[in-house]
Structure 1
């Protein structure tokens, strides 16, 4: 009991992260990872964790939280027929290969490199949201070789920065003239293919940093997982309900600006 009381500020902050991520997921349809990683990155530092350790733990913990939320999302999209299982069968092996390589790299590289990678991906994602272009660049998906590169790239980079499938998969597919609703539904399934093996790898072979926050096993902060997941699931429908009464496009632009500032700030922290 004393242990819990001593760490109440951290627990409340992690719970607030779950509420924030759930509301934004419902409001804007964005994946939790793109929200959870930067929040945990700065939150852990506020409690005395080094930037390098904060980034690897934020990455692993984010991936763990994506597992249950992606399962829920897959069920919803599958009922609507928006999950392309044919594409998933083709991509699954390549995604898994990318995830295993990416997950292993997280356990051995300096967290600064992961911060740079996340900062770049967050900045590019924000620019893509702000421009709002839905126009396809290609007429269709490439052949097997091209798709193998797409799948392995999604697995590699997503597992290295703690995000699900949506941030990279949806733009990739829509740029190839793939139906937007199916891209979103299929990306939910890609998120599970990424998050489950990545989280297990980082939990089992990751070495806990000496300055890690309490409740960290391997590289996954299980206290964060326990605090974030139920609240994310609880508040996502509330966010969706609020979104139906507000201008979702304006909200998305506001989030894109915040994400852009966050990405730039993470990059700047390494320079300044």
Structure 2
């Protein structure tokens, strides 16, 4: 059991750092690696992806707090955007977790891979928005939040891979998009974690120490390390130029997409 705890700590430290650096919550990093670790622990094959998704969402709940505190200290969180988008996000997370509990694990893995690959390519291409484009009003932002919340729960991300490109598309400064995305990750994680716990509550055959689709030993290890490294990543984000941040963001996402695709082909 000791080696698994060490793996959870290493994964948490890695995910926390990138959560702070890129505002991505850490789920896009945690899910592929948790799938591998849970499979190695011989958890039920049909529930491995759901457990990875649920545990990741619960971990993001804590990681986002550490990340947003650091970004707020740099004045990079646009709280009016957070307030407008949160109601839609909360509704979307309820929809997303309900759908995720009904979709086979293999289809969830395919969805995760295709989406991450698409976002990575978009960032590499470096699409530039019109100079006049701004964030939509309360209704438009709320509808965007609905989509972000639902999709984030389907693939267990903090929303950053959606919200950061969206805000950049609306001409929000990259560092501010990352900081605001970190704050948006909290309501996504809250609603998502609650949904995965509820939908997995009566599922038979889950490993011991599971709370619905949240595996508690992994959660403890992930959180213990990620809350320490998330502020480090956030501080670095405010020292790097925008173009370099975008390249790092795209490279990390592309590597994750290729890793998930390799896993799908191998299985």
Q: How does 1:60-209 map to 2 (within 5 A)?
A: 60-131=54-125, 133=126, 135-136=128-129, 139-207=133-201, 209=203
Report if aligned partners of 2:28, 2:253 keep a CA contact under 8 Å in 1. Answer: no
How many angstroms does 1:145 deviate by?
Answer: 4.4
Alignment of 1:212 onto 2:206: yes
Q: Which runs of 5+ in 2 are unaligned?
A: none
Q: What SS does the corresponding residue of 2:158 show, helix, strand or coil? A: coil
Alignment of 1:263 onto 2:256: no
Q: What SS does the corresponding residue of 1:141 show, helix, strand or coil? A: coil
How many angstroms does 1:212 deviate by?
Answer: 3.4
Deviations 1:77-107 (A, max 9, x none): 2233322222222212111110111122223
Q: Tell me how many residue pairs correspond in the alignment.
A: 262
**C-alpha separation between the residues in 1 aligned to 2:4 and 2:122?**
33
- So what's the TM-score if we normalise by structure 1? 0.83
- RMSD of equivalent CA atoms: 2.9
- Call closer, same or farther: CA 1:241–1:173 in 2, change over 3 Å: closer
Q: Which runs of 5+ in 1 are unaligned?
A: 1-6
**C-alpha separation between the residues in 2 aligned to 1:145 and 1:234?**
36
How many angstroms does 1:14 deviate by?
Answer: 2.0
**C-alpha separation between the residues in 1 aligned to 2:202 and 2:105?**
13
